[in-house]
């Protein structure tokens, strides 16, 4: 039984199995916390010497009453049809769920891109209960954009999907009243020329009258510095506040990528950044991956040497990925920041 949150340590459920809820988020329903995300069980990357055929094994959910100890609720969405968006061989990332107060439905969105990244759309599913089962509703094409990493946000009676138009900019799209589609209200933000500069993995939170968006650079599973942005209006100006990670010696977000921010419903001021430590086998002689990605995507940069292979520096065995959950703190001027802690508790933040 756990009594702390231990960033970067392997986390097991109450049955003694690795928790598989990557790119995850938390919902709080009727006094219970529900953590869900990508089930990467058996997704071994190149670890067996041959690239793993599957990308995921569905969306998995866990429940808890203390945020430390988690019961496995099972797979809440997966496709058995090879043509389905949630079929294991098809890319499916970062599921997010909102409860719609008008329809009473739980609505799940996920980034879907086929077997070879040939599409960039959202798969939308609905359920009557938070634990599902979820059924596929339809595919959303956010034309003229493509769906990259995203967050699903509910605020002041409206809902939004904030997503990366891959390798170029962030898009903020308002949703329809039932949360199952995009509306015509849309805006563009943070235009940047190419990876690793372009931002992905947006994670929204709201604190004392200000919106914030925690973001990652674009270097695949290799970690990089985070940046946080602030704004007053979803469709207004977004301000770059820089890297929120304090004491991050290697400038890699404590070797993690954050996928969402959870505001604790009963502990005032406790915001938790949920991150994944995707790669646990990084080579000690690894080159500067940000420079490598710039050489890959910047047309004016010197090209990577012939035979260079990113898989030489990690086998991308995401079945062994760990979690980095850190509390977000705020300076006197309201600016958010994160510091590394080896272990912490919710009780640390109770008045």
Contact predicate 171/222, CB 8 Å: no
Q: Assign 324 a pLDDT band (cuts: 50, 70, 90).
A: very high
pLDDT > 80? residue 117: no
pLDDT at 118: 72
pTM of the model: 0.97
Provide the CATH topology of domain 22-349: Tachylectin-2; Chain A (2.115.10)
pLDDT at 164: 97
Closest CA to 229 of 151, 310, 341: 151
Q: Find the mean pLDDT for residues 259-287.
A: 96
Instruction: Give pLDDT tens digits for 20-35.
Output: 999 999 999 999 999 9
Contact predicate 159/151, CB 8 Å: no
Q: What percent of the chain has pLDDT over 90?
A: 95
3-state DSSP helix/strand/coil % of the chain, to nearest 5: 5, 40, 55
Full DSSP string of 231-294: ESSTTS--EE----EET-TTSSTTT-EEEEEEE-SSSTT-EEEEEEE--S---TT---HHHHHH
Residue 133 CA to residue 105 CA, distance in Å, equals 12
Q: Assign 116 a pLDDT band (cuts: 50, 70, 90).
A: confident
Q: Find the mean pLDDT for residues 145-170.
A: 97
pLDDT at 54: 96
Determine how many CB atoms are found less than 10 A away from the CB of residue 58. 20
pLDDT > 80? residue 246: yes
pLDDT at 7: 98
Q: What are phi and psi of 149, to 5 degrees?
A: -55, 145
Domain limits, the chain: 22-349
Q: Find the mean pLDDT for residues 161-183.
A: 98
pLDDT > 80? residue 271: yes
Contact predicate 79/110, CB 8 Å: no
Instruction: Give pLDDT tens digits for 74-115.
Output: 999 999 999 999 999 999 999 999 999 999 999 999 999 977
Q: Among 29-38, 117-126, 329-338, whose mean pLDDT is lowest? A: 117-126
Considering the chain, what is the average pLDDT of its residues? Answer: 96
pLDDT at 114: 78
């Amino acid at each position: 039984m756990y009594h702390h949150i231990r960033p970067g340590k392997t986390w097991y459920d109450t049955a003694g199995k690795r928790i598989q809820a990557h790119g995850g988020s938390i919902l709080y329903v009727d006094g219970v916390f529900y953590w869900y995300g990508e089930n990467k069980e058996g997704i071994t990357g190149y670890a067996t010497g041959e690239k793993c055929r599957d990308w995921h094994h569905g969306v998995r959910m866990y429940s808890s009453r203390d945020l430390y100890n988690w019961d496995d609720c099972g797979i809440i969405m997966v496709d058995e049809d090879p043509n389905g968006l949630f079929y294991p061989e098809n890319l499916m990332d970062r599921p997010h769920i909102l409860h719609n107060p008008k329809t009473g439905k739980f609505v799940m969105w996920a980034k879907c891109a086929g077997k070879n990244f040939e599409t960039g759309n959202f798969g939308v599913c609905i359920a009557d209960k938070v634990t599902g089962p979820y059924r596929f509703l339809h595919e959303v094409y956010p034309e003229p954009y493509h769906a990259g990493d995203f967050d699903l946000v509910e605020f002041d009676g409206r809902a939004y999907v904030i997503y990366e138009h891959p390798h170029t900019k962030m898009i903020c799209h308002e949703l329809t009243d039932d949360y199952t589609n995009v509306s015509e209200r849309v805006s563009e933000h943070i235009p940047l020329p190419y990876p690793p500069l372009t931002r992905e993995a947006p994670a929204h939170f709201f604190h004392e009258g200000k919106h914030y968006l925690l973001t990652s650079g674009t270097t695949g599973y290799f970690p990089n510095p985070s940046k946080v942005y602030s704004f007053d209006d979803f469709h207004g100006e977004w301000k770059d506040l820089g890297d929120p990670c304090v004491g991050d010696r290697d400038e890699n977000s404590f070797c993690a990528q954050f996928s969402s921010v959870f505001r604790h419903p009963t502990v005032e001021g406790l915001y938790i950044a949920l991150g994944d430590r995707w790669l646990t086998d990084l080579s000690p002689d690894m080159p500067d991956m940000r420079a490598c990605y710039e050489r890959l995507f910047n047309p004016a940069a010197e090209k990577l040497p012939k035979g260079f292979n990113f898989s030489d520096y990690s086998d991308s065995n995401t079945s062994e990925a760990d979690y980095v959950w850190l509390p977000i703190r705020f300076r006197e001027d309201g600016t958010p920041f994160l510091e590394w802690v080896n272990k912490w508790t919710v009780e640390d933040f109770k008045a």
